[in-house]
Every structure is written in C-alpha cells, then in structure tokens.
Chain A
Amino acid sequence: MAVNLLRRIGIFILTAFVASILVFLLLSVVPGDPARAQLGTDASQAEVDALQQRLGLNRPVPLRYLLWLGGLLHGDLGTSFVTRQSVTPEVMNALQVSLLLVVAGMLVAVIIAIPLGTMSAMRQGRADGVVLSALSQIGISIPNFLMALLLVVVLAVRWGVAPASGWVAPAISPGGFLAHLILPALALGIVRGAILSRYTRSAVLDIQRDDFMRTARAKGLTSGRALWRHGLRNALIPVVTVTGVEFSGLLVGAVVIETVFVIPGLGSLLLQSVANRDMAEVQAVVMVIVFMVLLINLLVDLAYTIIDPRLRSAR
C-alpha cells in the first residue's frame, strides 16, 4: 500500500513536470512582441528593449523555463506583462472562487443525479423511466451557457429570485455569497447532473443484477428496499469516483459559466488575459488548471483504491 502510494505520487510529480514543459512551450511561442504591444506606438526601440529586459524576455528559452519552474516551486506563478506585478495573488483568489463554484455545481449535480438516475433505473422499461432517461439525454445536450442565459433571464431578471451576476466572498457576507452562488451553481450543476445521472443509472442497474441483490430479493425484500439496504451503498462507490472525475469537467465548465455571471474566477481571468495577450498570466492560469486536474485525478485514484480493495491489485 505504501509503495503503491509512493509510486502514484512519483508518477504524479513526473506528469506535472512534463505538463509544465508543455504549458511553457505552448505559451512562449507568442505571435507578436509582448513588450511592444504593451508600450504602444510611441515607444522607442530602447524602451522596448528595456521592458524586454525587465520582463526577462531577452534570456534564452531554457533559462526562462527554469526560472519559471523555480518560481512555481516557490509558489510564484510569474509576472504579468500588463501590470508588471506578480500574478500569484490574483490567480490564487480566482482559484478559490472557481473551486467554490465547482463544489457548489458538483453538489447540485449530485442532488439531481442520484434520485434521477436511481429512479430511471428502477423504472427501466416503464414509460416514466423512459421519460426520465430522455430528460437526462436532453439535459446533456444543452450547452451550459445557454442554460445560464435562461436562468438569468427567468430567475434573476423576470422573477428577481437571485442576483444576475457578481460575486460576494463568503467571509464578507455569507448570505450574499449564497445568493450570488445559486444561479451559476445551478447552470453548472444541471447539465453535469444529467451526465452523472446516467452513471448512477448504469451503476444501479449493474447492482440489481448482482448476486447479493438476487439473494436479498429471494429473502423476500421488495426490490426497492433491497436496493436501499444493499445496493445503493455499493452503487455509490463508482458514482463517488465519477463525481471526483467530474471535477475537471466542472472546472472547465466554470470557465464559460463565469463569463455569463461575471464571476471573478479562473475562467474570467483566463479570458481577460487572453484578450490582453498577457501570456504570462495565461500561462499561470493554464498551469493552475492543469495542476488541479492532475491533482484531482491522483486523489480519485488513491481514494478509489482505498474504497474498493478489489481494485488494488488491478493495476
């Protein structure tokens, strides 16, 4: 177990290292000169050179990579081309916001998926089961930004149930935080919930076929009670895993949702820095997202081997 753990963490570190090289290579091949773009037309060549020097753009690429990597290891994500200040506080704040949004979205997804998936599995073959399945199919097909727009128009603007946009940090006002969280979390969670409900459904169907369920039913338990007593808990294991995996999908989904709701998370920061061609900041945000995806994959892998001993030997 300990060896396995170390091995997985080792692989994680190696993977993150290679990913950082990819991120750096991709975002160093910038079209145009960031120094020139920032200074505008009035700048002389000397001024451009000076800024390049200040931003460290005149150094050889491998050295720049090593300096950046060194910074990352010390918790410094780089210096913005635009503000010429460290991007770390901004990116970290944005990460916090995005993570809160993702967790809330996940919560909504789970709340939708588990009842919906379980019901559609238990009513398999019946008309209402088909309706539930169809509902989740349609849910999957709706782009999350369309869902977001609809929620804003109906719930925020027409009915005034929740604010249409903005973000309040939980420390400042817990009530304001929840009010501002509700619509984006719904927009993010409904679509993801539809996806997750299909996993839940398959998991429940799988369990129903399992031997111990047959036994339980043979003992005279009704199908519903049997499922509750034995099945659901087992079915939840894979669902929990998928839930973990869903995090990366939610993190990227948040990129789009944040723009609709004007939430200062990683997505807004990414798009703003793309528009400004602030490649240093783009690089920082991308690296953070990629790192989070890798980290969550690692945690899910580890959690899974702990939850389900059968899989320990599988790899």
Chain B
Amino acid sequence: MQLTSRRHFLGLVGLGAAAVSLSACSAGAPTSNSSTSGSAGGSSTATLKVGFAAIPQSLDFTTTAGAAIIQALVGNVYEGLVQLADDGSIKPLLAKSWKISDDGLSYDFTLQEGVTFHNGTTFDAEVVKFSLERIPKWTANTPGNLAAIDHVDVVSASEAKVVLKQADFSALFWLAGPLGAMFDKGAISALSTKPVGTGPFTFGSYARNSKMILDRNDSYWGTKALVRTAEFDYFADATAAANALRSGGVDALYQAEALDQVASFQSDSRFEVTKGTTQGVVVMSMNTMKGLFSNPKLRQAVMYGVDRKAVLAAAASGYGTVLGGPAVPTDPYFVDYADKYPFDAAKAKQLVAESGVTDLNVNFTVPVRPYAQAVAQVAQQQLNAIGFTVKLVPQEFPAVWLDKTLTQHQFDLTVTNHVEPRSVTNYANPKYYWSYDNAAVQKLFADAAAAKDDAAFVDDTKKAVAQIVTDAPGNWLYNPPNIVITRKGVSGFSKNYMGVGINLAGVSAS
C-alpha cells in the first residue's frame, strides 16, 4: 500500500474547472523524453530548487512506503520500460515499442540501445529480467499490482518478453510506475543510500528531512536535463515552504499546501500558479465488518450527513474537486457521483432512525495531518448533528495510524488520502482496512483485468465503481489539487501529478 506521507493534501482546482479535459492538460507538459538524444538541454548551469512537503524516509522504495521517494527518483534517476504521460496515456521510455499477444499473456518489448546506468553498466534484456522478476521481493509500494508477471524471457540483448500468469489489462500502467523501475544488479545492495538508474539525473546526495540533490546526467541517452542541478527541499510545514518561496529560498513549490496563500501568489507578478489534479482520493472510510458501520443504513447516513463542499472549503480552502465515488477525474472510468448522495441532514437523521441502532458512538481515528484534522472536525460536527456521538482519536501518521487503523482495523471511521493511482482496486481486496467484501465487485475487477481492449476495461471498472458507491464503504470527499507555484522564469513542470515521479528534466530555470 502507498499512502501519502505528506503533512496535508489539500485540494485546488475550483469546482468549475474540476473536470479537466483529458487531452487539454497534456499540452505544454514535458511528456516524453524518449526521442533520440537531443541537444536542446544540457548546456544550462542553472540550479533548480523545488520545495516539497512529503519527506522521503529512505531512498529504497522497494522496502519503504511513501510517495515522496518515488516522486523524487522515478523518472529522474530511475526509468522504466514505459512511462505515463500527463493525460494518462502510456508512452515509450526504455522500451522503444512493444507488442501484446492476443491472449494478453505475453508482452514483447523492444529496448532502447546504447543506454547505460549511471555506474556504466549496460542496460539490456537481462536487466529487464532481473528487475521485473525481483518485484515479488518488494515489501512496499504494492508489489501485488504486478503479481500477474510470471517470468521474463531474454529473447536477445534488445528484446525482452514478459510472460504473465493471467491477463492483466493494467500491467502496462503499473510498469509505468515505480514497480517498473529498472535496477542494476550490481547496485542493488546500496538501494537505500546510492540509487543508480538510467535517468536524466544522477543521484547526488540526500540529507534526510532536509534536501536531496540530483545532478544532470551528461551522458544521458535521451534529451538531457535543462538544469545542471536539481534540489528537492523538504518542508514539513506548508507555511514555511511558502515563506521560502517568497523570500527566494526555493524556485518553486510542487503540490503546494499553503492553499490559503494561493490567491496572494496569484496576484503577485513575481510568481506563477498552475492548478492541476492529483491521483489522490481523500476518503472517510468506514469499518464495514465490525461495529455500527456494518449497518448499511448508517453508512448511507454518513453519505448524506456530511457536506462535502463544506469539508472541501475547510480542508482545502475550496480548491480541489468534490468527489462522491472512489475514482478521480483523470481515471478513464471516472463517473461524477458528487450528486449521488447530496447533503441532506434530514434524510440522514431518518436513516439513522431506520437503522434501529441505539449505540451511536463513533470511534473516528484521525491521522495527525492538517487536512485530516480539518476534515475530522467538520465531519464531527455534522455527524453529531444527525445523531451520532463522534469521538476523535488523533493518531500520528504514518506510524500509529498504519498500526492501529490500517493493520489492526481498530476504528469505526477514519480519514486518509489515498495518493496512489487507481486506488479503486483496493475495494477488490476484502482484507483491506475497510473490510469491504462484495463478490460481484471482485468479479467485475477480475473481468476488467482480463479485458481485451480499453472499452471493456473501462466498462467493467465503471460497473464495479457503481456498485461500490451504492454499498458506500467510505465517503469519498475530494480529489486534492496539484498546485505548482513557481517564480517567474521557471517553467516546464507537468501540470497534473499522475502518482509516479515528478520529472524535472524538462524544467528550465533562468
């Protein structure tokens, strides 16, 4: 599992701009650097300093959960066979092209030639075999998403055949993420201290909790990075990050969280603000197995009883997109469920009465993160108003929340931001913390995985989502925004965050 380890995840894109057109947002973004080695970049001596909120705890994302390491390293230091473009489409990277067999069980990748790792090792099909067959050894970041991979055949140095146990329509999507990263066998023992990849940046140094420095890879096989040095500056506090940008300490903030300051940055000619979307789903999950929320009427009461717009205003200053279902607007199977359960306190009260449950004490575990605390305090008031007695139990995030809520399932209600892309598949796992177990939904997800084409995949997933929304194991509140604030002269950030790396190779600074 992969949850945010950032302080808070707030939303942005105003409601009107919410349904960002899928094609529109790819314009102007540095999507692919898979073209032949370019000479456009590589000459600047600029240093780019970007402020981030999520702090990597280790550099080894095969054993340490958290989006922060992936954001920094995937696409910059590590590369996979394919990559995810800003519009959600799959683009070539270390694989020039690929062919999927009719039964969906084998993928033939033709690899880029002349690619070397930062330590000089040549990238070839043996590397693909080593990297992908090592995935079952991962202990973090959902290795199960590529459990379908059976083995990899080395056809030739530049051709690798990935063989699946059963068809998985999402395999390419997951290969574009951290699971698809290519590792050098010789560097694997030092994953947590000295990452070695094939990407446009080489790893420089990391001072934990403070900053990471990446240096331009001047012998990169593709388009070279536009800046010589990229520095990730980590801020546990959103206001401190905003202050740093204002006083010139950093050049940009990625996924800025000081949302109440966005307006003042917008009106300041020294800065530019772009608003995109993330893959995050902030959801108030209910324990459907134990306690009062095993009762579907009470779950529905929570759906009607919480005003998601008010929550968005409090937790994300009104930026972001109100949800109502577990998919985000950039998902191909997204359907807007914001009006499925409109805010209706009277109806919610009635549902509580109909449930016949008399003990309405709710144990609401809250990660100690500003967004979660804001959501919880607003929701507490609204749920108390319809008859519940909500007790807030703050839990340090990630450590305590992971232990008590996620692992031990000791909660009635909780709130968290699932930052990983396509997190909706978690509803097929009956052991996940909300204990949602619906055989029909599990079958639909299985069908979607075995789909032969986009249409079938999207259709089955849409049906699954519809059923999940009806069963209401959680109240999907909002999709947090991806706000990028830069000083004038810095450009080239991708507008949307697709849940993988934050590619800095295409960013220029002057």
Q: Which residues of A contact B (CB under 8 A)?
A: 31-33, 36-37, 39-43, 47, 82-85, 90, 93, 152, 156-157, 160, 162-167, 259-262, 264, 268-269, 271-272, 274-278
Contacts and interface: CB of A to CB of B under 8 A. Distances in A.
Contact of A41 (B1, B57, B400): B1
B249 A259 contact: no
Given A33-B403, A42-B139, A83-B208, A165 B244 contact: yes
Given A259-B237, A268-B236, 18 more contacts: A36-B407, A37-B399, A82-B57, A82-B64, A83-B58, A84-B192, A85-B193, A156-B246, A165-B235, A165-B240, A262-B244, A268-B209, A271-B236, A272-B236, A274-B396, A275-B399, A277-B399, A278-B399
B240 A262 contact: yes
B307 interface: no
A259 B209 CA distance: 11
Interface of B: 1, 55, 57-58, 64-65, 139-140, 142, 144, 192-193, 207-210, 233, 235-237, 240, 243-244, 246-249, 368, 396-400, 402-404, 406-407, 432-433
A165 B402 contact: no
A42 B57 contact: no
Contacts of B1: 40-42
Given A37-B403, A157-B243, A277-B400, A85 B192 contact: yes
Contacts of B247: 156-157, 160, 162-165
Nearest to B144: A42
Nearest to B140: A40
B249 A166 contact: yes
A166 B244 CA distance: 8
A43 B396 CA distance: 20
Contact of B248 (A82, A163, A260, A272): A163
Contacts of A164: 240, 243-244, 246-247, 249
B209 A165 contact: no
A76 B386 CA distance: 56
Given A85-B193, A163-B249, A276 B57 contact: yes
19 contacts: A33-B403, A37-B398, A39-B139, A40-B1, A40-B139, A47-B139, A82-B64, A156-B247, A157-B246, A157-B247, A163-B244, A164-B246, A164-B247, A165-B235, A167-B210, A264-B209, A268-B210, A272-B236, A278-B399
Contact of B207 (A160, A264, A277): A264
Contacts of B398: 37, 276
A287 to B, nearest CB: 19
A41 B240 contact: no
Nearest to A31: B400
Contacts of A264: 207, 209-210
Contacts of B406: 40-41
Contact of A272 (B55, B233, B246, B397): B55
A269 to B, nearest CB: 7
Given A42-B144, A93-B207, A166-B249, A36 B236 contact: no
Max count, chain B CB within 10 A of own CB: residue among A84, A275, A276, A277 = A275
A45 to B, nearest CB: 12
A259 B236 contact: yes
What are the 3 tightest A-B residue pairs by CB atom distance, in nearest-first order? A277-B399, A164-B243, A264-B210
Contacts of B403: 32-33, 36-37
B433 A41 contact: yes
A241 B247 CA distance: 38
Contacts of A32: 399-400, 403-404
A157 B57 CA distance: 30
B249 A82 contact: no
Contacts of B243: 152, 156-157, 164-165
Contacts of B402: 37, 40-41
A40 B237 contact: no
B399 A90 contact: no
Max count, chain B CB within 10 A of own CB: residue among A32, A36, A90, A260 = A32
Max count, chain B CB within 10 A of own CB: residue among A152, A156, A160, A165 = A165
A37 B397 CA distance: 11
Max count, chain A CB within 10 A of own CB: residue among B237, B247, B248 = B247
A88 to B, nearest CB: 13
B306 to A, nearest CB: 26
Contacts of B249: 163-166
B10 to A, nearest CB: 19
Contacts of B207: 93, 264
A277 B396 CA distance: 8
A162 B404 CA distance: 43
A160 B244 CA distance: 11
Contacts of B139: 39-40, 42-43, 47
B58 A82 contact: yes
Contacts of B193: 85
A275 B396 contact: yes
Contacts of B396: 274-275, 277
Contacts of B432: 41
Max count, chain B CB within 10 A of own CB: residue among A163, A271, A276 = A276
Contacts of A260: 237, 240
A177 to B, nearest CB: 14
A124 to B, nearest CB: 41
Max count, chain B CB within 10 A of own CB: residue among A33, A42, A83, A262 = A262
Contacts of A42: 1, 139, 142, 144
Max count, chain A CB within 10 A of own CB: residue among B235, B397, B403 = B403
A41 B236 CA distance: 25
A264 B144 CA distance: 36
B210 A83 contact: no
Nearest to A261: B240
Contacts of A268: 209-210, 236
B329 to A, nearest CB: 28
Contacts of B237: 259-260, 262
Contacts of B140: 40
Contacts of A83: 57-58, 192, 208
B399 to A, nearest CB: 3
A43 B138 CA distance: 10
Nearest to B409: A41
A86 to B, nearest CB: 11
A32 B404 CA distance: 8
Nearest to B245: A164
A92 to B, nearest CB: 13
Contacts of B64: 82
Contacts of A84: 58, 192
A163 B243 CA distance: 9
Contacts of A31: 400
A152 B241 CA distance: 12
Contacts of B208: 83, 90
A90 B403 CA distance: 26
A32 B401 CA distance: 11
Nearest to A159: B247
B399 A276 contact: yes
A72 to B, nearest CB: 21
Contacts of A82: 57-58, 64
Contacts of B400: 31-32, 37, 277
